[in-house]
Amino acid sequence: MSILALIACAFIYSKEVQVKELSKQLFDEKGVSSHLRNEKHHEWERAETFQQEIIAHKQEIADLKATFKNSNDDGDFGKVIHWTNQMATSQTYYLTFVVDPNGRKIMNDFENRFKRSLFTNDERETCRRIGQSEVFDFISNRISNAQSPNYSEQLEIAYLTGQLESNYD
């Protein structure tokens, strides 16, 4: 009988140890679950904050667009120009590098930097200078094109969009 009681006590003790281990595992899992829930909650709060910031930025952009669209303000360089096309036409080059005083400064700086003696004893340096000069020449040609009495921005746009074949360059 005492042997049976000893076996029963050992069995009860082993079950008690198992219960304690399972209880500890459950407590640990609850802690992890609680931590994950807190992280998830913080992520939702951050997402909501970002969503509100996005809405505020979209409103700010819409306000700026409306302000620009409705602007009839005269700036330092004349009337505000509302571009109806997104193409860089010869007229765009003319307005940027001739009409705008800062554009003229930039064009003069380009000329001083890139319109110099092209040929040197070093072939690579000569090629580099020719490439730099081509950019300046391209801009100058576009400006000259815009100043031509026969120039039409609508015709140039039609050519650039492929609606017309011409010799514009």
Indicate if 47 and 102 belong to the same structural domain.
no
Answer with the residue of higher pLDDT: 169 or 69.
69
Indicate if 40 and 99 belong to the same structural domain.
no
Q: Which of 54, 70, 86 is the last residue of a domain?
A: 70
Percent helix / strand / coil, the chain, rounded to 5: 75, 0, 25
Overall average pLDDT of the 60-84 stretch: 62
pTM for the model stands at 0.46
**Is residue 137 in some structural domain?**
yes
Residue 100: φ, ψ to 5°? -75, 125
Indicate if 48 and 78 belong to the same structural domain.
no
**Is residue 16 in some structural domain?**
yes
Tokens of 68: 């620009």
Ranges of beta strands (E only) in 16-136 are: 74-75, 78-79
Burial of residue 156 (CB within 10 Å: 0-12, 13-18, 19+) is buried
Overall average pLDDT of the 122-130 stretch: 91
Q: Is the dihedral of CA 37, 43, 48, 49 positive or negative?
A: positive
| CB-CB contact of 127 with 120 (8 Å) | no
Q: Model confidence at 82, in pLDDT bands (50, 70, 90)?
A: low
What does the alpha-carbon distance between residue 52 and residue 4 come to, in Å, rounded to a whole number?
71
Range of the domain at 27: 1-70
pLDDT at 6: 85
Indicate if 4 and 58 belong to the same structural domain.
yes
Residue 80: φ, ψ to 5°? -70, 130
What does the alpha-carbon distance between residue 100 and residue 98 come to, in Å, rounded to a whole number?
6
Q: Which of 28, 45, 70 is the last residue of a domain?
A: 70
Indicate if 156 and 81 belong to the same structural domain.
yes
Indicate if 96 and 144 belong to the same structural domain.
yes
pLDDT at 60: 84
